[in-house]
Amino acid sequence: MALPIRSAAAVLAASALSLSALTACTHNEALGRNQLLLISDAQLAQASSQAWAQTLQKNRLSRDAAMNERVRRIGARIVQAAGLNDRPWEYAVFENASPNAFVLPGGQVGVTTGLFKVVENDDQLAAVIGHEAAHVAARHAAERYSQTAAAQVGLSVVGSGLDSRAAMQALGLGAQVGVLLPFSRQHELEADRIGVDYMHRAGFRPAESLRLWENMARGRTGGSTPQWASTHPSDATRLQALSEYLRSRGWL
């Protein structure tokens, strides 16, 4: 699930580490694979704090006490389960009809009012926050930046011998569809899997995550982007992968 508020993504990108830094490839035990990381946790946390400040300034906060209490209460349980309570956390509910949520690496949780029209219980709200917390624990934001930066360097080198703007555009499209988007889909499926682990550890019902994504799929309007051209897996792919994982854990 992606943050619908553009300012957060913009600040994260603007504060990224220079490409002159040494490439770091680190093995992530939780993911079972290596990660290319070109930005430090400290830099990402600083960027997150800037993004959060801008988001609070530019978007209307909900004064619904019940919504805010639910986000704080459930968020605290998920943060504890994820082992992310090594930093202070802030929670906010934003007035936005689009059902969405985000968790920033610096320790900020945002949920839109529209999400409360989709989630049917606390377990499903925990599924959303757990999914977003999993992105933080898996260092997906740092990895996504690193992959994008590496692709841009590769294109600049390849493109130096080309005069055709159309050729460069074709190379850019090829890199995005062939590398960056599939990698983002991998992130989403990983966050689904890790997120339900957090749910279970926090005392919520992991099977409700499946109900949540079914609700999200039913509420989607205007059709969906083909999976090959999307940063997110298709609803069918997500539901199948999540169902298989829940069954493997004995939670379905």
* Residue 29: DSSP 8-state: T
Q: For residues 204 and 198, what is the distance between their CA atoms, to the nearest angstrom?
A: 9
Q: With the CA atoms of 237, 239, 243 and 249 taken in that order, what torsion angle do they form, in degrees rounded to the nearest 10?
A: 90
Contact 54, 14 (CB under 8 A): no
Residue 104 makes CB contacts below 8 A (sequence gap 6+) with 8, 48, 51, 52, 110, 136
Contact 162, 61 (CB under 8 A): no
Q: For residues 239 and 128, what is the distance between their CA atoms, to the nearest angstrom?
A: 14
> Using one digit for the tens of pLDDT, what is the confidence trace for 71-120?
999 999 999 999 999 889 999 999 999 998 988 888 999 999 999 999 99
Domain segments of the chain: what residues? 6-248
Q: For residues 130 and 150, what is the distance between their CA atoms, to the nearest angstrom?
A: 29
The top-scoring range by mean pLDDT among 105-119, 170-184, 212-226 is: 105-119
pTM above 0.75, yes or no: yes
For residue 119, the model assigns a pLDDT of 96
> Using one digit for the tens of pLDDT, what is the confidence trace for 123-133?
999 999 999 99
> Using one digit for the tens of pLDDT, what is the confidence trace for 8-30?
544 444 444 444 344 468 888 88
Q: For residues 217 and 211, what is the distance between their CA atoms, to the nearest angstrom?
A: 10
Catalytic residues: 132
